[in-house]
Structure 1
Amino acid sequence: MWLHASCLLEFDIPVDTPFLLMLRPRSGNQQWVGREQYVLTPSVSAVEFTDPFGNLCQRLVAPAGEFSIKTSFDIQVADVSDSAPGAYFIPVEQLPDETLPFLLPSRYCESDRFSQMASSLVEGVAPGYDQCAKIVNYIRETITYAPGEGQEIISACEVNEKTQAVCRDMAHLGIACCRALSIPARMVVGYLETLEPMDLHAWFEAYVGGRWYVFDPTQDNLQGGRVAIAYGRDAADVAIYTQFGTPVDLQQMQVSIEQIPAPVY
């Protein structure tokens, strides 16, 4: 399917402020960007680079006063994410080098503290995809998805003590449990066409059966087009914007995504 997505960020900047942004999708096996627009108001110079996870990042200094960032794009994605029950577990010594960072504990995914819990959750389950699915089902059954409720980022250990959480924090718990089983897992931030209420969304991917697969504890199924914007070890790596110095006020954030006919350029 083809989707049109957009994100508007409006700030009140007290003094000239450095920003690091992560708002551009990149084309790959799962998505293809057909057209894109990136508008800074007022216009300032920006420099783009690719971070260690392959994300397209922009650096700029926002001037004092009202400042806005508007991104929009047309993108082709699948209308449902792939699933693969029974996909096999890959021993660590056979994993591709690029997956290895996603086996280690990270700031918000303390996988070294979940070995016993993860093992008990998947007892009797075939190693690989089915273990990841079992973990997701546990999170979905024990923690209520509460969009908009969690402004402060919390770790997997903290999430595990709660009865409700936002998508980002539920992904942290899934990632930590998968890594505890020696399954590479990474966080993804992006858009989900069917999300209600509409906002940017977080889920995770696990590497089994020779590729990455989507897992989302907040959704009952994998229906709906997904657009990945950023990948990382946890939320610390995938912030859509980071500002440095004097705190700034985010006045407004608007996110939209809708299905469109195949464009003719």
Structure 2
Amino acid sequence: MQRVVTAQLDLDLGASVDLIFQISAAQQVPVVSESLTFTQGDRVYTPTEIVDQSGSRLHRLTGEPGRVEVRYEATVEGQMSTSRTSDLEAITYLRPSRYCQSDEVFSQARRQFKGLHGQDLIHAVSEFVATSTTYTPGLSHGTDSAVTTLMTGQGVCRDYAHVVIALLRAMDMPARYTACFAPGLRPMDFHAVAEAYFDGTWYVIDGTRLANRRSLVRIATGRDASDCAFLSYHGGYVGLKRLKVDAWVVPEEAAFEGLETLPEAADPALDDFVELVQLA
């Protein structure tokens, strides 16, 4: 399966600012071609690339006052390579984190999912979050946590992922946050899902059910959204003037020529959310 992913950001800098981006496909993603540029008028910035322990690629530069344009495009082909999860990494994803307070939801999780393990637990948590939370763009805040979302019953993809992660960790199943490109997503944006660690493998849980899990392209992985922000900065004002994200599955000509429907792997309606799926 071939996918094309793009991101465009226009930033207004009020001073010299330390900028850190996480918008590129992760290191283990099978990228066929890729372009990432940072420009300011005639000036082209060359960022420093930093790869973290999970394969997330961070690009860091010092931007000067004015308008900075960021452009990213990549073509991805085939399955992502998998790496072994260490015992230390699994332990890290069992612990409470800033937005996934598994200790605070411990009692609720133990009552609600008592006796469930493995695939049954993953399915029950996914189903609970999908049916108890309403997708409401613009009403949640960047500081909202899993506890906040459980109380309000509303949020966006990051909020759904945080609730899934907190509940799974409370049930002693390692869980992590993944930022990704999501072909077929509406409204199109950077997307967030959770991953559950079961029987030596990470499986994707998308509580929003707005994207087909088979087509996702990993960007960053971490404990929660604080580890996976597409932009962080230090030292001055940064205004995000424009953000445009797109992702699509390249259709096979023989199968889809002349059709106006989404390729199967990009259609959220064709994802069986009971099935265990790894990030492709």
TM-score normalised by the shorter chain: which range applies?
0.7 to 0.9
Q: Report SS of the residue matched to 1:39.
A: strand
User: In the alignment, what sits opposite 2:93?
Assistant: 102
Q: Which runs of 5+ in 1 are unaligned?
A: 79-93
Q: Is the 8 A contact 2:181 2:190 kept in 1?
A: yes
| 2:31 equivalent to 1:46 | no
Cα offsets for 1:193-241 (capped at 9, x unmatched)? 1210111100100000210000010007845510110000001100011
Q: Give the TM-score taking structure 1 as reference length.
A: 0.86
Of the three residues 240, 243, 250, the one matched with 1:260 is: 250
The CA deviation string for residues 92-132 of structure 1, in whole angstroms up to 9 with x for no partner, is xx97332111000111111111222112222343x112112
Question: CA 1:111/1:39 → structure 2, altered by over 3 Å: closer, same or farther?
Answer: same
Does the CA contact (< 8 Å) of 1:114 and 1:176 recur in 2?
yes
Q: Distance in 2 between matches of 1:99 and 1:222?
A: 26
Aligned to 1:67: 68
Residue segments in structure 2 that go unaligned for 5+ positions in a row: 80-84, 253-280
Partner of 2:140: 150
How far residue 56 of structure 1 moved from its aligned partner, in angstroms, is 0.9
Paired amino acid for 1:183: M
Distance in 1 (alpha carbons) for counterparts of 2:181 and 2:231: 16
CA distance in 2, matches of 1:101, 1:172: 15
Higher relative contact order (CA 8 A, sep 6+): 1
The answer to whether the aligner puts 1:173 opposite 2:163 as a matched pair is yes
Partner of 1:11: 11
Is 1:2 the counterpart of 2:2 in the alignment?
Answer: yes
Partner residue of 1:131?
A: 121
State the 4+ residue runs in structure 1 displaced beyond 6 angstroms: none
Q: Distance in 2 between matches of 1:50 and 1:73?
A: 18
Q: In the alignment, is the contact (CA less than 8 A) between 2:19 and 2:60 conserved in 1?
A: yes
The superposition leaves residues 29-88 of structure 1 with CA deviations (integer Å, 9 ceiling, x where unpaired) of xx411110001112123111112333111110111111011111001256xxxxxxxxxx
* Aligned equivalent of 2:77: 76
Contact persistence 2:56–2:219 (CA under 8 A): yes
**Given residue 22 of structure 1, which amino acid in structure 2 is its aligned partner?**
Q
Give distance in 2, aligned partners of 1:6 and 1:228: 13
SS at match of 1:119: helix
Alpha carbons 1:189, 1:229 under 8 Å: kept: yes
Tell whether the 8 Å contact from 2:99 to 2:224 is kept in structure 1 after alignment.
yes
Cα gap change, 1:147 to 1:45, in 2 (>3 Å): same
Alignment CA distance shift 1:52-1:10 (3 Å): same
Other structure's SS at 1:195 match: coil
2:238 aligns to what? 248
Distance change in 2, residues 1:159/1:212 (3 Å): same
**What SS does the corresponding residue of 2:32 show, helix, strand or coil?**
strand
Aligned position for 2:222: 232
1:170 CA displacement: 1.1
Give the fraction of aligned pairs with identical amino acids, expressed as a percent.
30
Judging changes above 3 Å, is the alpha-carbon distance between structure 1 residues 243 and 110 closer, same or farther for their aligned structure 2 residues?
Answer: same
- Once residues 210 and 131 of structure 2 are traced to their aligned partners in structure 1, the CA distance between those partners, rounded to angstroms, is 11
